[in-house]
Amino acid sequence: MQVIEQASVMRQTVQALRCAGKRIGFVPTMGALHEGHLQLLRASIKENDVTICSIFVNPTQFNNPEDFRLYPRTLQDDTKLLQSVGCDYLFAPEVSEIYPKQTLLRFSFGELEEVMEGAQRPGHFNGVATILSKFFHMVQPHKAYFGQKDLQQVAVVRQLVRGLSFDLELVCHPTVREENGLAMSSRNRRLTAEQRQLATSLYKALQLAGSQLKSKPLASIKEEVATYLQGVEQVQLEYFEIADPETLQTLHDLSQVEEAALCIAAFVGEVRLIDNILVNLKEV
The pLDDT tens digits of the residues spanning 7-20 come to 999 999 999 999 99
Are 209 and 125 in a shared domain? Answer: no
How far lies 4's CA from each of 1, 79, 101, 235, in Å?
10, 12, 21, 40
Domain edge (last residue) among 141, 173, 205? 173
- Determine contact, residues 86/61, Cβ cutoff 8 Å: no
- The active-site residue, picked from 37, 124, 142, 252, is 37
Q: Which residues contact 144 (CB under 8 A, 6 or more apart)?
A: 25, 26, 27, 28, 136, 157, 168, 169, 170, 171
CA–CA distances in Å: residue 95 to residues 62, 73, 101 = 14, 14, 10
What's residue 214's pLDDT? Answer: 86
What is the DSSP code (8-state) at residue 255? T
Does the pTM surpass 0.75? The reply is yes
Whichever domain contains 74, its CATH number is 3.40.50.620
Domain end: 173, 202, 222, which one?
173
For residue 180, being part of any structural domain is answered with: no
Q: Is residue 266 part of a domain?
A: yes
Distance CA 32, CA 47 (A): 24
Domain co-membership, 136 together with 112: yes
Establish if 252 belongs to a structural domain. Answer: yes
Give the chain's residues under pLDDT 70. Answer: 284
Binding residues for beta-alanine: 61
**pLDDT in the model for residue 28:** 98
Do 156 and 274 reside in the same domain of the chain?
no
Distance separating alpha carbons of residues 203 and 159, to the nearest angstrom: 27
Q: Are residues 35 and 112 in the same domain?
A: yes
Classify the C-alpha dihedral 86-8-141-54 as positive or negative: positive
Tell me whether residue 37 is one of the annotated catalytic residues: yes
196 and 111 both lie in a single domain:
no
State the binding site for ATP.
30-37, 147-150, 176, 184-187
Cα atoms in the 13 Å half-sphere on the side-chain side of 180: 11
How many domains, the chain?
Answer: 2
Residue 121 and residue 207 in one domain: no
Q: Alpha helix locations (H) across the chain?
A: 7-19, 35-47, 65-70, 75-85, 95-98, 117-120, 124-139, 151-163, 193-198, 200-211, 218-230
CA distance 153 to 145: 12
123 and 232 fall within a common domain: no
Residues 153 and 218 in one domain: no
- Looking only at the bridges linking them, the beta strands covering 235-243 and 259-268 are antiparallel
Q: Which domain holds residue 8?
A: 2-173
Let me know whether 153 and 198 are in one domain.
no
The answer to whether residue 120 is domain-embedded is yes
**197 and 111 fall within a common domain:** no
- Write out the binding residues for (R)-pantoate: 61, 153
Which pLDDT score, from 0 to 100, does residue 103 have?
Answer: 85
Question: Which amino acids are annotated as binding site, given as ranges?
Answer: 30-37, 61, 147-150, 153, 176, 184-187
Whether 191 and 131 share a structural domain: no
What is the per-residue pLDDT for 256? Answer: 85
Residues 6+ apart with CB under 8 A from 262: 206, 209, 210, 240, 241, 242, 243, 276, 277, 278, 279
3-class state of residue 202 by DSSP: helix
Rg of the chain's alpha carbons, rounded to an integer?
19
In a domain, 17, yes or no: yes
Does residue 166 sit in the same domain as residue 192?
no
The Cα–Cα gap between 22 and 49 comes to: 6
